[in-house]
Amino acid sequence: MKAKSPLEIYKLLPRTNCGECGFDTCMSFAANVLDRKAKVEDCKPLVEEAKKNKKAAEKLEKLKEITSPEIDEVVIGKNLKIGGEEVLYRHELTFFNPTAFFFDVSDTMDEKTIDERCSRVVEYKKFYVGKYLTLDGIAVRCSSNNPDRFAEVVKKVAGYGKPMILVTLDSECMEKALKEVAEENPLIYAATPDNWEEFFKLAEKYKVPVVVKSKDLDMLKSLASTFKSHKIPVVLDPVTEPAGKGLQKTFERVIQIRRTAILGQDRDINCPIMVTPIAAWTIEGDDVGKMYWETVIAGVFTVKYGDIMILHSLEPHTIMPLVTLRANIYTDPRTPVQVEPGLRAINNPDRNSPVLITTNFALTYYTVESDLQSSGASGWLLVLDTGGLGVEVSVAGGQFEPGKVKQLMEETKVAEKVDHRYLVIPGLAARLQGALEDELGWKVLVGPTDSGRLKAWLEQNWPPKDGVKVKG
Ligand code: SF4
């Protein structure tokens, strides 16, 4: 997006503050467009005026130009978005659309295997920092070279409702499959220097996005610009070589494409990039080594500009590190990940259960909460609003301080839920112990620095033995 401030967008809006876009003012709308929470087209008065008035039409075009992302956004299936990035480094702004992980099935697999693999993709979910991490889609490979079999398997896979990539270089096989599932908006893979004319016709006829593939970046650019000039959404595959010098060259090609697109403002290759870690399965050796390299390659390109990938291994040791890495790369660095402050009841606490406190930084909160849940210990967990900062930082920065703790305890009425007056604070907040006791009039116990040791700590220290009353 060329616009760097809301003012640049605001200047081109009608500036009547009519509110039709759902925002109170044009400036607020402009700020939300800049943040990608609203689209220029949501300003209906401008869109309507542009139909009648040349000047308004020019403003609308200009707005679209300065607000379109540096890297094209391509939609696969109903609403899986890839690309759409603005920057090379996430801390310059943020990354928007997480790398999409697709897993392969082949039309030479038996029906049971295909069903098992599709089900695993559909059903996979892992809870992490307040949300479920999932997998994105299924890549159907035509290994049979039989158009009927490929179409049959593609149709079956479409029944699982996930976005699809159709993988064949043969235009006859591709067309047969597209006749079955074009409405599902699959990504077709791949147009090469040898088959691009047929794939061009297919992409135009069935209105589907296409991957263009070549190791030669000049050729890749030429293919991409041909498709893009006809408004066909394009994904670039600069070919993934899975080992040795080839892997190094793959990395260099991917970096070069993205740098040329963003720094060089090259509109021919400002497309999402596909990487195929599945190529690791061509390396000599056992399956463990192949899975290892597949995971490593996918990890490297999750960090560096891989917008969509095809993988084979559905083993937890491949998937878990990748979805976790992706979740961390694609969180917005401008907004600390946080949870609602308040009071949580863990494992049915009663009037003698301990009262503990942590911060509302999501990673801290979910770690403490899950450590308590899994330990079987019950307790009242106060969650302090520190603006999404962890314990150590918020103690140092003053967001975790006695006045705020007192206010939280009053708001949550925690004193009415227990028959004792003890508060367990994190070990990393130990230096607040005295100040908290003065402010609260409660006895403050310093818990462990690592919530993984809470169970053992509570077994030793709860109920307290220093004479402050705990009924029971
Ligand atoms: S609809 Fe357009 S003119 Fe009306 S407030 Fe929104 S941005 Fe401003």
Dig out the tokens for 196 from the structure: 């691009």
Which of 16, 28, 39, 47 to mutate to test ligand 1, by most ligand atoms within 8 A of the CB atom? 16
β-pair type (379-384, 342-346): antiparallel
Find the 422 Cα to ligand 1 centroid distance in Å.
Answer: 54
Ligand 1 contact, 347 CB (< 6 A): no
Find the 1 Cα to ligand 1 centroid distance in Å.
Answer: 20
Ligand 1 contact, 17 CB (< 6 A): yes
Find the 35 Cα to ligand 1 centroid distance in Å.
Answer: 16
Res. 185: pLDDT tops 60:
yes
Ligand 1 contact, 14 CB (< 6 A): yes
Atom number, ligand 1, closest to the C-alpha of residue 46: 2
pLDDT at residue 108, rounded to an integer = 98
Q: Between 131 and 324, whose confidence is greater? A: 324
Reported confidence tier of residue 393, pLDDT bands at 50, 70, 90? very high
* pLDDT digits 0-9 by tens, 81-114: 999 999 999 988 889 999 999 999 999 999 999 9
Reported confidence tier of residue 326, pLDDT bands at 50, 70, 90? very high
Find the 57 Cα to ligand 1 centroid distance in Å.
Answer: 16
Q: Between 131 and 405, whose confidence is greater? A: 405
User: Cα(247)–Cα(433) distance, rounded to whole angstroms?
Assistant: 54
Ligand 1 contact, 321 CB (< 6 A): no
Identify the structural domains of the chain with CATH numbers, from first to last. Answer: 6-67 (1.10.15.40), 73-329 (3.20.20.20), 342-461 (3.40.50.11600)
* pLDDT digits 0-9 by tens, 270-316: 999 999 999 999 999 999 999 999 999 999 999 999 999 999 999 99
DSSP conformational letter for 449:
S
The mean predicted confidence, pLDDT, of the chain is 95
Percent of the chain clearing pLDDT 70 (strictly above):
99
User: What is the average per-residue pLDDT within 196-200?
Assistant: 98
User: Cα(422)–Cα(464) distance, rounded to whole angstroms?
Assistant: 9
Res. 449: pLDDT tops 90:
yes
Which of 8, 11, 15, 18 to mutate to test ligand 1, by most ligand atoms within 8 A of the CB atom? 18
* pLDDT digits 0-9 by tens, 147-158: 999 999 999 999
pLDDT at residue 3, rounded to an integer = 83
- Produce one character per residue of 128-150: b if its CB has 16 or more CB atoms within 10 Å, e if not: bbeeebebbbbbbbbbbebbebb
User: What is the average per-residue pLDDT within 33-58?
Assistant: 93
Find the 96 Cα to ligand 1 centroid distance in Å.
Answer: 25
pLDDT at residue 472, rounded to an integer = 42
pTM: 0.85
User: Cα(337)–Cα(332) distance, rounded to whole angstroms?
Assistant: 8
**Closest Cα to atom 8, ligand 1: which residue?**
26
User: What is the average per-residue pLDDT within 28-50?
Assistant: 93
* pLDDT digits 0-9 by tens, 458-471: 999 999 987 555 54
Dig out the tokens for 75 from the structure: 């939609």
Dig out the tokens for 441 from the structure: 């009039």
* pLDDT digits 0-9 by tens, 201-235: 999 999 999 999 999 999 999 999 999 999 999 99
* pLDDT digits 0-9 by tens, 358-381: 999 998 999 999 999 988 989 999
pLDDT at residue 111, rounded to an integer = 97
